Amino acid sequence: MQTISQTVKIDLQHRNRSLKDLMSLRVSSTGTSQARQGVSEKRFLQYLQRYFQEVLQAAEFEISLSRRSYSADFIVIHTPSGIGIDVEIDEPYAGKSKKPTHCCDVDRDMRRNQLFLEWNWIVVRFTEKQAVQAPLSCCKFVARAIAEVTGDRSFLEQLKTEPDLLSVKPWTTREARAMAKSNYRLTYLGKFGADSVCDRVSSEPSPTLIKKF
């Protein structure tokens, strides 16, 4: 006679095997990107590594029939199932040039998201402010994504006492310009120093979870 816990374990094993077969088609990174990483990202990496087993930063992905490539801020792999999560930290504007980034009225990020979906990746996007001010809630959001797809709630259990991440409104190009003019990023990056507000290559404000299998 099986107990409930044994039944759940068998169900998880079956689901992981099915996902593993599907994830064999997932496109893998081709190396490490040379894109500059901000101080806030280095700090957020420490939180991800605390709660998830397989985490990589600045993974590079080549684009077929193109000289361009995409850099993932972080990738989190759920080893038992093989599912991969592309975790992006989105800032409203570039630090040096003040150029608006990740604006909801520009489709650049949507094209990138679609490509990662075709590559069998889940895409999770946080704002830079969320990653700085609520890193544990961000980790909980990632853990919930893993639980929803795989049924594995072990990561979510570690973070169950953390508050859920609050949603924020995506910004437009006009709003991003206004934030750049007022040096908005310094209001939450001040403790990292002005050098952390830097230009870097990355790629929709959030939290946003995008998945398709």
Higher confidence at residue 135 or residue 211?
Answer: 135
**pLDDT over 60 (residue 13):** yes
Q: What is the mean pLDDT of the chain?
A: 86
Give the start-to-end residue ranges of the domains of the chain. 4-210
pLDDT at 64: 87
pLDDT at 201: 35
Give per-residue pLDDT as tens, 94-124. 988 999 999 999 999 999 999 999 999 999 9
Neighbours of 77 (CB within 10 A): 17
pTM (2 d.p.): 0.84
Q: What contacts 178, CB < 8 A, 6 or more positions away?
A: none
pLDDT at 2: 42
Q: Is the peptide bond before 207 cis (omega within 30 degrees of 0)?
A: yes
**pLDDT over 90 (residue 204):** no
**Residue spans of alpha helices (H) in 52-193:** 108-118, 128-133, 135-150, 154-158, 173-181, 186-189
Which residues are registered as beta bridge partners of 87?
Answer: 74, 124
User: Which of 21-25, 85-89, 209-213 is least confident?
Assistant: 209-213
First-to-last CA distance in the chain? 34
Question: What is the rounded CA–CA span in Å between residue 151 and residue 23?
Answer: 16
**Residues 147, 153 contacting (CB under 8 angstroms):** yes
Which residues are registered as beta bridge partners of 70?
Answer: 61
pLDDT at 192: 59
**pLDDT over 90 (residue 8):** no
Beta strand pairing status for 31-32 and 54-62?
A: antiparallel
